[in-house]
Amino acid sequence: MSPVKDEVEREERIGLHNLRPAPGHRKTRKRVGRGEGSGTGKTSGRGQKGAGSRAGSKDRARFEGGQMPIHMRMRKLRGPHMKKSMPFEMFRTHTQPVNLGDLDERFESGAEVTLDAMRAKGLGTRRGIPVKVLAKGEITKPLTVSAHAFSAAARERIEAAGGTAQLLEP
In the chain, domain spans:
96-167
Model pLDDT, residue 114: 94
Q: Which residue has the higher pLDDT, 13 or 90?
A: 13
Model pLDDT, residue 37: 93
Which range, 4-8, 15-19, 67-71, 98-102, has the best average confidence (pLDDT)? 98-102
Closest CA to 66 of 47, 51, 85, 49: 51
Other residues' Cβ atoms within 10 Å of the Cβ of residue 9? 9
Handedness of CA 111, 113, 118, 124 (dihedral sign): positive
3-state class (DSSP) for residue 113: strand
Burial of 136 per CB tally in 10 Å (0-12, 13-18, 19+): middle
pLDDT tens digits, 29-81: 999 999 999 999 999 999 999 888 999 887 778 888 889 988 788 776 666 56
pLDDT band (50, 70, 90) for residue 88: low
| Average pLDDT, integer, range 11-16 | 80
Q: What is the longest distance spanned by two Cα atoms in the chain?
A: 82
156/163 Cα distance (integer angstroms): 10
Model pLDDT, residue 13: 81
Model pLDDT, residue 8: 56
Domain 96-167: which CATH class?
A: alpha beta
Burial of 137 per CB tally in 10 Å (0-12, 13-18, 19+): middle
Closest CA to 165 of 146, 151, 138, 152: 146
* Residue 161 · residue 154 · CB < 8 Å: no
